Chain A
Amino acid sequence: MSDRCDHDQEIDLEEQQILAAIEAALPAMPTDRHQLIPLLQHIQGTHGYLPLGGIALVARHLKMAASKVYGVATFYNQFRFNPPGRHPLKVCLGTACHVKGGEIILENFSRRLGIAEGETTKDREYSLERVACVGCCALAPVVMVGEKTESYVTPSKVEGIITEIEIQNEIAERAKEKHEPESDTQ
């Protein structure tokens, strides 16, 4: 339990650092209202996402209502409000994948991970997204796991993909544990 709290604190700290960085960077930015979208793009480009706290900062900087900035940011698909996970899952919902049941795959992932599309798991391990088309319609339905393309995905394969990532994480952790005592002695 305390481990979990440490984790949460770490994430809070990280977000606070990002907000501080945004606050520090803003005074150098133009204050023209027309710069709203470039500004949001800049923040997302630097930090990978738009923290909700950052929207209030941008609003203050441009002297706009925070809800207006939020309205603009939520209108465009390019802005995300959750940090990318270590394993970004992109479920293709282009025409071919849609026809072959991409929606079901997305639903499977969302149920398995307990997050909705566009969200990130609490431990920052997975983030779930929908994309329009990844360009390999012959392999539909397709899911991008990081840079890797998973083809002909079925509900049972969803479980397999997650298990594979978990196993790899475990292997990496064990390797690290093996390594650490050695580095201590050195």
Chain B
Amino acid sequence: MVTITVDGLEITVPRRTRLLQACLDNGIYIPNLCYLEGMDQPPASCRLCLVEIEGRPGPVPSCSLEVEAGMVVHTNTDEVQKLQKMAFRLLVCTNEGQCRMCMANKRCELQRIAKFLHMPLRTKRLRHLPKDLPEVIEDHPCIVYEPNKCVLCGRCVYVCAQQGNDFSLSFANRGFNTVISFFGSQNEGQGDACLDCQACVDICPVGALNLKDDRRRHLRKMAAKAKARG
């Protein structure tokens, strides 16, 4: 076991625990999108879980760092918050930001982080740059993908590979046009396997991946609501 200090609180966790996991387990929330428990090598790509550690020159991503005895960690210094807010701005400036119509409304990780950082979901400091991608991609027999909601955290790619399926999700294209691709899953047989698994849909933090049936039901509900409102 290792004892570390986080924001003045002493916590004891097993050796080789990731710092982010240690904090989350002890009720200290650090915003994060791309990390999942049990990851061998967290991608550390969302850059939201930065923390400051005494004795280190700059903030470090806590998801890829293992705890060390006597570590003194600060999760809410000005510099950390500044970096987290900037990373968040960069994420949401390409995002659709139409929460009311979204299926993930109220259980969206972006909303949670926004609340935590006291940030709006539509940032004014950066120009809003919607991606030039189709609104929905319906290649897959039972899953719909909405690239404009996707934050490319890669959780779905990870869990899909974890299932050990012959087929797995992956990133496709490059840069601004990056999407999650279902290539090779268009055949009907795959639909059943995915319907049984749904790991990617369950893990998506922002509601970019949904089951086709669920989405259809949701759209019908929204249309009925809009009609009732006049």
What number of residue pairs across chains A and B have CB atoms under 8 A from each other? 45
Q: Cβ of A56 < 8 Å from any Cβ of B?
A: yes
Bound-complex Cα distance A66 to B181 (A): 10
Out of A59, A74, A75, A77, which one reaches B184, CB within 8 Å? Answer: A59
Bound-complex Cα distance A59 to B170 (A): 13
Bound-complex Cα distance A66 to B172 (A): 11
Out of B173, B174, B181, which one reaches A67, CB within 8 Å? Answer: B181
Q: Cβ of A152 < 8 Å from any Cβ of B?
A: no
Q: Cβ of A71 < 8 Å from any Cβ of B?
A: yes
Q: Cβ of B5 < 8 Å from any Cβ of A?
A: no
Out of B166, B169, B173, which one reaches A75, CB within 8 Å? Answer: B173
Residues of B within 8 A of A65 (CB): 165-168, 170, 184
Q: A65-B166, A65-B167, A65-B168 are in contact. Are A70 and B183 (CB under 8 A)?
A: yes
B180-209, CB under 8 A of A: which get 1 and which 0?
Answer: 011111000000000000000000000000
Residues of B within 8 A of A66 (CB): 167, 183-184
Q: Cβ of B171 < 8 Å from any Cβ of A?
A: yes
Flag if B168 contacts A70 (CB, 8 Å): no
Q: Cβ of A68 < 8 Å from any Cβ of B?
A: yes
Residues of A within 8 A of B167 (CB): 65-67
Q: Cβ of A143 < 8 Å from any Cβ of B?
A: no
Out of A59, A70, A77, which one reaches B172, CB within 8 Å? Answer: A70
Q: Tell me the minimal C-beta distance from A18 to chain B in angstroms.
A: 19
Q: Cβ of A142 < 8 Å from any Cβ of B?
A: no
Flag if B172 contacts A71 (CB, 8 Å): yes
Flag if B168 contacts A74 (CB, 8 Å): no
Flag if A71 contacts B184 (CB, 8 Å): no
Interface residues of A in 57-113 (CB under 8 A from B): 59, 65-71, 74-75, 77
Out of A67, A74, A75, which one reaches B182, CB within 8 Å? Answer: A67
Flag if B172 contacts A67 (CB, 8 Å): yes
Bound-complex Cα distance A69 to B171 (A): 10
Residues of A within 8 A of B185 (CB): 67
Bound-complex Cα distance A62 to B206 (A): 34
Out of A56, A71, A77, which one reaches B170, CB within 8 Å? Answer: A71
Bound-complex Cα distance A70 to B182 (A): 9
Bound-complex Cα distance A77 to B177 (A): 13
Highest count of chain A CB atoms <10 Å: which of B165, B170, B173, B181? B170
Interface residues of B in 75-118 (CB under 8 A from A): none
Interface residues of B in 136-184 (CB under 8 A from A): 165-174, 181-184
New A-B pairs, 19, CB < 8 Å, besides A65-B166, A65-B184: A55-B184, A59-B184, A65-B165, A65-B168, A66-B183, A67-B168, A67-B172, A67-B181, A70-B170, A70-B172, A70-B183, A71-B170, A71-B172, A74-B173, A74-B174, A75-B171, A75-B173, A75-B174, A77-B174
5 A-B residue pairs with Cβ-Cβ distance under 8 Å, sorted by A, are A55-B184, A65-B170, A66-B183, A68-B170, A70-B170
